[in-house]
Amino acid sequence: MTGPSRLALSSVSSTIATAGILSPEQISSFHDRGVLKVNFSLDSDLLDNIVEKVHPYYSQEYRRGELVIERVQDAWKLVDEVRQLAVHKSVTTALKQLLGRRPLAFQTLNFPRATEQQPHADVLHFNCEPGGYMVGVWVALEDIDEANGPLIYYPGSHRLPEYSMQDFDLEPGFDDYPEYTRRIQRIIQEQGLSPEYGLVKKGEAIIWHANLLHGGAAHKDRTRTRHSQVTHYYFEGCRYFTPIFSGKRRRRYRFPFWIPETDKYILPENRNIPAQLFRRVINKLRGG
């Protein structure tokens, strides 16, 4: 069990704070709360194109209208608009303001509906040395309200210790993940943490710190979609690892392929998770 990096949570210099699009008040709020809503004035056509062009890559079950948990990982390799959003200059400028290092996008997730995922911290999946240099950015591709499955998050929870599977006497991997989520729920209750919901308009973004507890609220109106894109970012100058697959004495280091800033690139070998394996994993993530 470790605490969140004070280096990454410390206030950035006034030079950085005034060199981009976020105000000093917004930067301070992020460090205090671990989460920040931002309107980046994203182009509506870009967002619409993402929704339209990613749709064919969702499963046949989803496209037939079945109520399945669905997502496409790393759609930026298939739809260039996804890549454009992931490396959007306004977003990366804001992230550099927040943590004082160059952000490096390494994964996109596109969703047509809510995941209803149990609260968790991304730091279980993505961590680095020094710690604290990882964030998620969630962009609403349509209006999100109480009925179509908003995000749920716990402001200030990023200041809790970073919990690994070993901290709960659980084995690395996803088999014990439901028990991890139960332990996190117990911590939420013991700490008296209060949830907030990501009620946002199309084009607005929510940035969260790697150790912020967050999940998905219920998708109450099943006739509606909830299109969104999540991009995960590390920051330069770190060594990266995957805690959920790491043991007490040995870390599973990772060497991400950074999402390119231009459309001129050559992809490495395709290592996407097979669809059946993904569904088994996502069921565990939901606590099922």
The CATH number of the domain holding residue 168 is 2.60.120.620
Question: Does residue 1 sit within a domain?
Answer: no
Q: Containing domain of residue 74, as a range?
A: 6-285
pTM of this structure: 0.88
Question: Does residue 160 sit within a domain?
Answer: yes
pLDDT per residue over 222-276, tens digit each?
Answer: 999 999 999 999 999 999 999 999 988 899 999 999 999 999 999 887 655 544 4
Name the band, by pLDDT with cuts 50, 70 and 90, for residue 126: very high
**Total domains, the chain:** 1
Question: Does residue 248 sit within a domain?
Answer: yes
Question: Does residue 101 sit within a domain?
Answer: yes
Name the band, by pLDDT with cuts 50, 70 and 90, for residue 279: low
Q: Which helix (H) or strand (E) holds 207?
A: strand 204-209
Q: Which two tokens stand for residue 228?
A: 């969104």
Backbone angles phi, psi at 185, to 5 degrees: -60, -40
- What b-and-e string marks burial along 212-243, b requiring 16 or more CB atoms within 10 Å of the CB? bbbbbbebeeeebbbbbbbbbbbbeebebbeb
pLDDT per residue over 24-72, tens digit each?
Answer: 999 999 999 999 999 999 999 999 999 999 999 999 888 777 777 789 9
Give the pLDDT of residue 177.
96
Task: State the chain's mean pLDDT as an integer.
Answer: 90
Yes or no: say if 117 and 286 are a contact pair by the CB < 8 Å rule.
Answer: yes
Give the E-state strand segments of 112-166 in sequence order: 127-129, 134-140, 151-153
Give the pLDDT of residue 15.
38
pLDDT value at 12 more than 80: no
pLDDT value at 196 more than 60: yes
Question: Does residue 250 sit within a domain?
Answer: yes
Helix (H, G, I), strand (E, B) or coil at 11: coil
pLDDT value at 4 more than 90: no
Question: Does residue 112 sit within a domain?
Answer: yes
Name the band, by pLDDT with cuts 50, 70 and 90, for residue 10: very low
Question: Does residue 177 sit within a domain?
Answer: yes
Question: Does residue 132 sit within a domain?
Answer: yes
